[in-house]
Structures are given as C-alpha cells and as structure tokens.
Amino acid sequence: MNVFKFHIGLVFFTLVLGCSNNDIEEVSKVSGNKTLPIETGYDISINYTDSGKTKALVKAPLLERYVSEDKNYTEMKEGISVNFLDKYGRVESFLTAKYAIRYDQEKRVIARNNVILMNFDGDTLRTEELHWNEITQRISSPKQVTITTKEEMMWGDGMESDVAFKNPKIYKLRGTMSLK
C-alpha cells in the first residue's frame, strides 16, 4: 500500500512540476492564441454622424470588431465602400478599397489595397493606402498616388485633402501629363 501511495505521489509531483515549467509563449504557440472578434456582421451599413448630420455612409460585406488591452478596432477584411456627404446630405465623394481597419478611440480609418476615391467632379485618386480622420474630415496617403482630373494626370508620393477631394495637395510630385 505504501509503495502504491509513493507511485501515485511521484506521478502527481511529476505532473505538477512538468506543468509549472511551461513557458507562456510555448503555451500560446500550442493554443494558437488568436484574437477572436467580439462581434461579426455581414452586409453591414453604418451611418457616421456629427451633430445629427450624416457625414458618411459606409458599407462592408464583412465587419469584425476586436477588443484588446492595446486598442479597440474594427476590420473590414472583404472591402469597404464609403459615400462622403456634404452638409446638405448629397454625395460629394465615393471611396472603395479591398480592406479597411478603423481604430475606435482615435476615430481613424485606414483603407488599403486598390483604394479609389472619386469626387462629384470626376476627379479620381488611386493609391494603395488612404487614411481618413473622422474628427477633422481629412484624408491623406503616405503611399504613391495617381490623381486624374478632366485636364491632367499627376503622380506623387503622399497626399492630403478634405473628404470631398477638393484641391488635393501632393507631397512629392513626380510628374504630370496633360489630358487635353
């Protein structure tokens, strides 16, 4: 009987000692430690308002909200389309991208992958990354941009504008071509 208790005790001690030596990183690797969304929505529509007026209408086929210790964010992994509205509720520009992420506390959206922004006049911006500051209603891109108007096409590195895409400022102009 004492030999049996000794073996049970030895097995228990070995298990406890073995479990207590596991590294947190190793456990995370085995378990996957993947952050899962707290909310998932399909074919969603969001109205962004300020002082009771709609500023933007956002549509996405898939929306996932995540909450972490560092940041709360919303991902739109299957693309996004946004209608930016003027003070009268008319569409003044339209944005599409294949991916977008919104940082909730900062009220900032980053659109990536084949980003296209077109205003009411037909002026078009093409880039791989566009930032939208919801508070200032400004857009910017740190990446290469191509802007096409009725009169010319311009290339550069980085740009900034209002969401109506009026009078965009290209940071590093690389070239222009007349379309007339």
CB 45 within 8 A of CB 58: yes
pLDDT score recorded for residue 143: 95
Q: Rg (Cα) of the chain, in Å, rounded?
A: 25
Are 10 and 75 part of one and the same domain? no
Q: How would residue 34 be classed by pLDDT, with cut points 50, 70 and 90?
A: low
Report the pLDDT value the prediction gives residue 71, as an integer from 0 to 100: 82
User: 138 and 91, same structural domain?
Assistant: yes
Question: Structure tokens of 100?
Answer: 């977008």
CATH number at residue 151: 2.60.450.10
Predicted confidence (pLDDT) per residue in 91-109, tens digit: 999 999 999 999 989 999 9
Is 26 in the same domain as 77?
no
In sequence order, the β-bridge partners of residue 102 are: 74, 109
Q: Which has the minimum average pLDDT: 49-53, 63-67, 94-98, 116-120?
A: 49-53
Whole-model pTM?
0.76
Q: Are residues 95 and 63 in the same domain?
A: yes
- Asked whether residue 149 carries a pLDDT value surpassing 60, the answer given is yes
- The SS3 of residue 134 is coil
For residues 57 and 111, what is the distance between their CA atoms, to the nearest angstrom?
15
Q: Are residues 135 and 161 in the same domain?
A: yes
Do 124 and 154 reside in the same domain of the chain?
yes
3-state secondary structure of 163: coil
User: 12 or 69: which carries more pLDDT confidence?
Assistant: 69
Distance, first Cα to last Cα, the chain: 100
Q: Does residue 107 sit in the same domain as residue 173?
A: yes
pLDDT of 144 > 60? The answer is yes
Residues 15 and 99 in one domain: no
Does 42 share its domain with 13?
no
Same domain, 99 and 29: no
Domain ranges, residue 119: 35-178
Q: How many CB atoms lie within 10 A of CB 23?
A: 8
- Per-residue pLDDT at 81 exceeds 50: yes
